[in-house]
Amino acid sequence: ILPYNFQYYSRSFRQLAMSLPQLHRPTQEDFLRVADGFWQRLRIRFKWFTIKSFRKFNADDISGIVTWILMSQTIWILVGTTTFLSVVFAIANSLRLQHFVARGISDYLTSETGITIIFESAIVPKWKDSRISFKNVYVSRRPLTTLHRKTIDAHTAAAGIDVRNQTEYQDLGEDEEDVHVGLEEDTNYSIFDLNIDSVDVTLSLWRWLDGRGLVEDAVVKGVRGVLDRRSVVYDPDHPLDPASFRHESHPGDFELDSLQLEDVLITVYQPGGFRPYTASIFHAEFRTFRKKWMFYDFLSAENIVGQFDNCLFSLHKPQSIGRTMGSELQDGDWARMSRIRIDGVNIDHLQASTSMEGPVSWITSGKLDAVLDIKFPKDPDDALALNVILEEIAEAISTTLSTSPALDPLRQRIPGQRELAKPPLSAPETDDAASANLDHSKEFKVVIELDLRFRDVKAAVPIFANDLSYVNNALIRPIVAFMNANRTLVPIHCRVVKNLNDFDGAWTMWETGLLDEISFKIYDALAFHVTQANFNRRVRTVSVWSLHMTASAVLSAFRKLVDPVSIRIREAYLRSQEERERELFNVEL
């Protein structure tokens, strides 16, 4: 007696079924008992796992298995993009195809970004950290001259890429043709060459489908390079508008959830014959780093420690003695607070970053110690109506409790610099700065408290009158005289309030217009101090003159009262003298 559905069995399972002694329907254990090889047992287990039978696969079974495989792979790619690509790169490395994969990724990134990107080493997956590591990455942006092509050929040769048949890296040929190409190409942009030791990334296809880029987080270590801006040309007759240089956002721009930088050192060459200097970052951690809000995310980083032109700088959260930063942010109206400190930076950097007007351009030499306390507004989408009401109640309670004199010293933040014997110079507070703490939830403003201390400064009156367009000419010489008279230390405290939209698309401080705002605040503080000093001097002069005139009037009035009495006494004295002389004369007679 044959088993049930014996005609639907495959040839191998028919042979196994015929060798069974029992007459009932064979089970998985029966087939495994008579199987004599690994592949037979694997086929038995696979068929029993998929259809719970040993008949041939029909169209429904095949379509179900294919659908299950495709769906599982799709879910794997969406959820574990890094793991999937790590498996692909591991297979490519085992097959010695890593150079072809690296060349393909380099060509794709170069064509999409317009920046030359070359991976000199194999792409290695890090299974322990769930990351993909790119070793020895070369990133460059400069005109395609002969020298640059030789540099690219050297990096591609180090990567093991054959560029003889690649149209992207073909030689231009003769030197004359290279000269013509170099002259025709626009070079009015910043040029840079970067060599990166390692870039560890975590990828997410789900983020890419959401329009936030493929990279979820990144760790960059060991960056050495050159930033050359000597080819950038400015027209003094047509001043540039920083707002026009802000970058527009596009779908697919990167939005990293976290970014770490370690051991970054870049040599900077500025236009106008400015001396070269170095900028380095020892360690930096960003909780988010977006292309649209690049400078804003830089200011709101977790911590940054680095060096700018041999001057140490740091970015961190300010601390209070009695309260933690979390409790302050929970009870306050700000989403985050950061403090930037830099000591001993040369004044020429500030002059090169601002316009040619204002007191910063009048300083010929000196150094600057700066502390910036930055307050970032809360995101309105993160707060519900009930939370807003509760925050207002908590703010009212904390405001009431803060009036206690015992709590005030504990709530104050530790100052960024040493306290001064006298209060620093400060500009009169404007309406925007005064209302920043009141209506920030509606205006979405970024408030920056600046503590600037100019040391060993020398100032001079500008020669050309066109540099004095926005200031009162009568205050220039007093301001310059004040800075030269107090050259040892000129402390200035001011507040700058910027709209949040000013940081949208800004990659540098210049694009936000922050440096010009700081220059205006410095002028306002100096002008206000000089005006108040002149006013006080005039008041003191007028007071002395008034006192002198009052004293003269009093003395004159007193003299008028005293003069008649003295005249009478004198007349009586003269009369007595005449009478005595008469008596003496009569006696002699």
Could you tell me if 132 and 90 are in contact, meaning their C-beta atoms sit under 8 angstroms apart? no
Residue entry with tokens 């002969």 = 146
> What's the pLDDT tens digit per position in 432-484?
555 555 454 445 789 999 999 999 988 887 776 555 554 556 678 888 888 88
Q: What is the pLDDT of residue 262?
A: 95
Residue entry with tokens 């495989």 = 69
Question: Does residue 234 carry a pLDDT above 80?
Answer: no
Could you tell me if 402 and 469 are in contact, meaning their C-beta atoms sit under 8 angstroms apart? no
What are the two backbone dihedrals, phi and then psi, of residue 477, each rounded to the nearest 5 degrees?
Answer: -65, -40
Question: Does residue 3 carry a pLDDT above 80?
Answer: no
- Report the alpha-carbon distance of residue 345 to residue 487 in Å, rounded: 16
- Compare 224 and 85 and report the one with higher pLDDT: 224
Taking residues 105-127, report their average pLDDT: 80
Q: Which of 205, 145, 211, 132 is nearest to 175 (CA)?
A: 145
Backbone conformation region of residue 213, classed left if phi is above 0, alpha if psi is from -120 to 50, else beta: left
> What's the pLDDT tens digit per position in 411-444?
456 666 777 767 788 877 765 555 555 454 445 7
Provide the CA 533 distance to its chain's centre, in angstroms. 38
- Compare 580 and 191 and report the one with higher pLDDT: 191
Taking residues 27-50, report their average pLDDT: 80
Q: What is the pLDDT of residue 73?
A: 78
Q: What is the pLDDT of residue 196?
A: 93
CB count within 10 Å of CB 296 equals 21
CB count within 10 Å of CB 543 equals 10
What is the overall mean pLDDT for the chain? 76
Q: What is the pLDDT of residue 397?
A: 57
Tell me which of 5-19, 384-398, 457-471, 532-546 is least confident.
Answer: 384-398
- Quick one: 419 exposed, middle or buried, by C-beta within 10 A (0-12, 13-18, 19+)? exposed
CB count within 10 Å of CB 423 equals 9
**Confidence band (pLDDT; 50, 70, 90) for 574?**
confident
- Quick one: 131 exposed, middle or buried, by C-beta within 10 A (0-12, 13-18, 19+)? buried
Question: Does residue 511 carry a pLDDT above 70?
Answer: yes
β pairing state of 489-499 and 425-426? parallel
Q: What is the pLDDT of residue 314?
A: 94
Q: Tell me which DSSP letter residue 427 carries.
A: P
Q: What is the pLDDT of residue 178?
A: 46
DSSP string, 6-71: GGGB-HHHHHHHHT----S---HHHHHHH--SHHHHHHHHHHHHHHSS-B---HHHHHHHHHHHHH
Question: Does residue 407 carry a pLDDT above 80?
Answer: no
Could you tell me if 475 and 394 are in contact, meaning their C-beta atoms sit under 8 angstroms apart? no
> What's the pLDDT tens digit per position in 146-196?
445 555 555 555 555 544 444 444 443 444 444 444 445 667 788 999 999
Question: Does residue 263 carry a pLDDT above 60?
Answer: yes
Beta bridge partners of 272: none
Q: What is the pLDDT of residue 193?
A: 92
Tell me which of 90-104, 264-278, 313-327 is least confident.
Answer: 313-327
Question: Does residue 283 carry a pLDDT above 90?
Answer: yes
> What's the pLDDT tens digit per position in 538-569?
666 766 777 777 777 787 777 766 666 667 77
**Confidence band (pLDDT; 50, 70, 90) for 33?**
confident
CA atoms within 13 A on the CB side of 277: 16
Q: Which of 236, 207, 203 is nearest to 88 (CA)?
A: 203
CA distances from 357 to 351, 362, 491, 509 (A): 9, 8, 20, 18
- Report the alpha-carbon distance of residue 214 to residue 228 in Å, rounded: 30
Q: What is the pLDDT of residue 181?
A: 45
Question: Does residue 580 carry a pLDDT above 60?
Answer: yes
- Report the alpha-carbon distance of residue 563 to residue 558 in Å, rounded: 9
- Compare 114 and 21 and report the one with higher pLDDT: 114
Tell me which of 130-144, 255-269, 397-411 is least confident.
Answer: 397-411
Q: What is the pLDDT of residue 165?
A: 43
Beta bridge partners of 196: 137, 223
Tokens linked to 466: 């066109």
- Which stretch, 385-394, 413-422, 462-471, 520-529, has highest mean pLDDT? 520-529
Tell me which of 62-76, 288-302, 385-399 is least confident.
Answer: 385-399
Could you tell me if 459 and 364 are in contact, meaning their C-beta atoms sit under 8 angstroms apart? yes
Tell me which of 154-158, 257-261, 289-293, 336-340 is least confident.
Answer: 154-158
Q: What is the pLDDT of residue 298?
A: 93
Tokens linked to 311: 């001057």
Q: What is the pLDDT of residue 442?
A: 45
What are the two backbone dihedrals, phi and then psi, of residue 524, each rounded to the nearest 5 degrees?
Answer: -60, -40
Question: Does residue 381 carry a pLDDT above 60?
Answer: no
Taking residues 129-151, report their average pLDDT: 76
**Confidence band (pLDDT; 50, 70, 90) for 408?**
very low
Q: Which of 511, 551, 525, 536 is nearest to 427 (CA)?
A: 525
- Quick one: 540 exposed, middle or buried, by C-beta within 10 A (0-12, 13-18, 19+)? exposed
- Compare 121 and 468 and report the one with higher pLDDT: 121
**Confidence band (pLDDT; 50, 70, 90) for 575?**
confident
**Confidence band (pLDDT; 50, 70, 90) for 303?**
very high
- Report the alpha-carbon distance of residue 437 to residue 181 in Å, rounded: 56
The set of residues, in sequence order, having a beta carbon less than 8 Å from that of 343 and lying 6+ positions away, is 311, 312, 313, 369
3-state secondary structure of 353: helix
User: If you compute the radius of gyration of the chain from its CA atoms, what whole number of angstroms results?
Assistant: 41
> What's the pLDDT tens digit per position in 192-220?
999 999 999 888 888 888 888 888 899 99
Percent over 90 (pLDDT), the chain: 16
Q: What is the pLDDT of residue 299?
A: 92
- The total number of residues shown for the chain amounts to 589
What amino acid is encoded at 250 in this protein?
A: H
SS3 content of the chain, % helix, strand, coil (to 5): 45, 25, 30
